[in-house]
């Protein structure tokens, strides 16, 4: 995918022998650039709230015989940053040829480019409700960094780790909704109710179910000081922009979904904060570990992820690493929704298990639910099926190189690996493989990053308490 910089990893996933780790390719290109006189490359991502992320790196000088490699290199960086941090305006500060190429890639449907990213173009426009644009400029013209977690302006309080008072925390999943009543960090009531949100097109159904959950928790509190929530999907400023939970709601009625959380907060007259479930999972892990710099990665139906920064806060970034590149093999698998190659969803989820199963000589029935198919593969693993072992070994080795890649974008001290694909012996194999790669290929990172599977300690602070801790009621007007 990035010509002229072919690398050979020390560890080859047994069922993914053509796997090409981005971290090795990117570093090879940077080393060559450094040796011959590096050219600056600065990428900026602006969001409508005024925040801006900035990524500074280097590229090959424009007169280098292999300068063409800069194009794919920069495009893959932009792709990663878009799904890590999000933005409706991208600045490409460097060689104009690089900026022009990224502009051609990130264009609407029908544009002429073999690497067209219309999915990303449309997705960013939808969630930020602003036209998406790529600007080619000089490095000096890229705006300075201004992240929400560093700001104290109205409407941009740091969220999470606030346990004082009487709080309600809810967690909305695809098959059940959970709610808890929390007093000064202690759960006094919780319930779990089965529901099927994806089958309901009426926004009133979703409001009614959520209101019933909050009312049930409120009945066990002397008062309600704040409401916090965890929900699947892209949540921006407490508004669900895109979420599988609401996939049946037609576009003409989606405005009610956009405002559902804010509306409930106004009804109770209290602060409300809702975050992506991946971020809340990472926050729960950070609270239980009593640490910061936590990256959470859940291997479920897709790859879900969340991040708590070095200051201990949720950032407001997208952290949708399911769409971030993790394999530069030009023949890498194409992810069905985004249409892009080599992105995380195909490597760190049950999709990876199903993709690798035929290579492992493991026949999985196709007429049953995916969760049942995964269980069959896991039963084979527990029984010692050599092919099944190779599936999870492949995932683990890929994870090791990918964590090193993630570390180029995140400040990480802890990685929490969880999800249904980590159940049983599979989780052990994934951690084993990842640690082997980090220790052998990236010893400095191995000394810096601790890997964790969920255990009693990391489960000590639950998702509901973490969700309830999101709003900051100190100095609130309500």
Q: What is the pLDDT along the chain (478 residues), one digit of tens a residue?
A: 677 788 999 999 999 999 999 999 999 999 999 999 999 999 999 999 899 999 999 999 999 999 999 999 999 999 999 999 999 999 999 999 999 999 999 988 645 555 679 999 999 998 999 999 999 999 999 999 998 653 322 333 456 778 899 999 998 877 678 899 999 989 999 988 888 888 899 999 999 999 999 999 999 999 999 999 988 888 888 999 888 789 899 989 999 999 999 999 999 999 999 988 888 888 888 888 889 999 999 888 888 899 999 988 888 799 999 999 999 999 999 998 889 999 999 999 999 999 999 999 999 998 888 888 999 999 999 999 999 999 999 999 999 999 999 999 999 999 999 888 998 999 999 999 999 999 999 999 999 999 998 774 454 446 778 889 999 887 554 4
Give the C-alpha separation, 472 to 164, whole Å: 9
DSSP symbol at 145: P
* Torsion angle, alpha carbons of 260, 263, 268, 272, to 10: 70
Element containing residue 59 per DSSP (H, E): strand 52-59
Is the sign of the CA dihedral 213, 234, 313, 400 positive or negative?
Answer: positive
Distance of CA 332 to the CA centre of its chain: 20
Tell me what pLDDT residue 475 has: 54
Tell me what pLDDT residue 176 has: 76
Tell me what pLDDT residue 327 has: 97
List, as one string, the DSSP characters of 10-54.
SS--TT-TT---HHHHHHHHHHHHHHH-PEEEEEEEE-TTS-EEE
Give the C-alpha separation, 279 to 282, whole Å: 5
Tell me what pLDDT residue 60 has: 97
Segments making up each domain of the chain, as ranges: 37-147, 159-478
DSSP symbol at 397: H
CA R_g for the chain = 22
Element containing residue 388 per DSSP (H, E): helix 386-406
Cβ-based neighbour number of residue 361 at 10 Å: 11
Give the C-alpha separation, 152 to 221, whole Å: 30
Give the C-alpha separation, 82 to 134, whole Å: 12
The CATH code of domain 159-478 reads 3.30.420.40
Give the C-alpha separation, 164 to 177, whole Å: 24
pTM: predicted TM-score of the whole model, two decimal places:
0.87
Tell me what pLDDT residue 111 has: 52
Tell me what pLDDT residue 478 has: 41
| Residue 242: strand, helix, or coil | strand
Tell me what pLDDT residue 151 has: 32
Tokens of 22: 């981005």
Sequence-separated (6 or more) residues with CB below 8 Å from residue 153:
none
């Amino acid at each position: 995918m990035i010509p002229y910089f072919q690398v050979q990893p020390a560890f080859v996933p047994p069922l993914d022998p053509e796997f090409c780790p981005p971290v090795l390719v990117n570093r090879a290109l940077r080393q060559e650039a450094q040796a011959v006189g590096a050219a600056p490359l600065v990428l900026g991502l602006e969001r409508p709230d005024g925040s801006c992320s900035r990524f500074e790196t280097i590229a090959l000088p424009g007169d280098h015989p292999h300068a063409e490699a800069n194009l794919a290199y920069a495009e893959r960086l932009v792709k990663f940053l878009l799904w890590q941090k999000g933005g409706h305006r991208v600045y490409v500060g460097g060689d104009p040829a690089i900026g022009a190429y990224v502009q051609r890639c990130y264009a609407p449907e029908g544009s002429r480019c073999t690497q067209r990213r219309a999915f990303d173009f449309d997705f960013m426009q939808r969630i930020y409700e602003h036209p998406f644009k790529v600007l080619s400029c000089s490095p000096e013209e890229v705006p300075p960094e201004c992240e929400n977690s560093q700001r104290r302006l109205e409407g941009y309080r740091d969220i999470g780790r606030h346990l004082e008072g009487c709080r309600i925390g809810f967690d909305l999943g695809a098959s059940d909704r959970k709610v808890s009543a929390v007093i000064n960090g202690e759960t006094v009531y919780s319930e779990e109710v089965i529901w099927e949100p994806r089958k309901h097109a009426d926004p009133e159904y979703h409001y009614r179910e959520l209101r019933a959950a909050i009312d049930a928790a409120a009945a066990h509190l002397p008062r309600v000081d704040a409401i916090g929530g965890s929900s699947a999907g892209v949540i921006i400023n407490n508004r669900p922009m895109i979420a599988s939970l609401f996939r049946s709601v037609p576009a003409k009625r989606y405005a009610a979904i956009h405002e559902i959380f804010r509306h409930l907060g106004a009804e109770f007259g209290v602060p409300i904060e809702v975050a992506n479930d991946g971020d809340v999972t990472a926050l729960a892990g950070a609270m239980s570990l009593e640490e910061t710099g936590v990256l959470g990665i859940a291997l479920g139906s897709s790859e879900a992820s969340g991040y708590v920064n070095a200051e201990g806060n949720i950032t407001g970034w997208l952290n949708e690493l399911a769409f971030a590149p993790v394999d530069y093999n030009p023949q890498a698998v194409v992810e069905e929704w985004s249409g892009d190659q080599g992105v995380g969803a195909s490597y760190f989820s049950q999709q990876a298990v199903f993709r690798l199963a035929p290579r492992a000589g493991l026949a999985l029935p196709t007429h049953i639910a995916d969760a049942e198919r995964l269980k069959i593969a896991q039963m084979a693993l527990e029984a010692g099926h050599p092919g099944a072992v190779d599936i999870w070994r492949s995932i683990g080795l890929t994870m090791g190189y990918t964590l090193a890649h993630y570390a180029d974008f995140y400040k990480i001290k802890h990685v929490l690996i969880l999800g249904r694909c980590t159940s049983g012996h599979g989780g052990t194999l994934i951690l084993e493989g990842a640690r082997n790669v980090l220790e052998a290929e990236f010893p400095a990172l191995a000394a810096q990053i601790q890997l964790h599977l969920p255990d009693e300690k990391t489960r000590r602070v639950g998702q509901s308490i973490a969700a309830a801790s999101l709003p900051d009621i100190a100095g609130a007007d309500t």
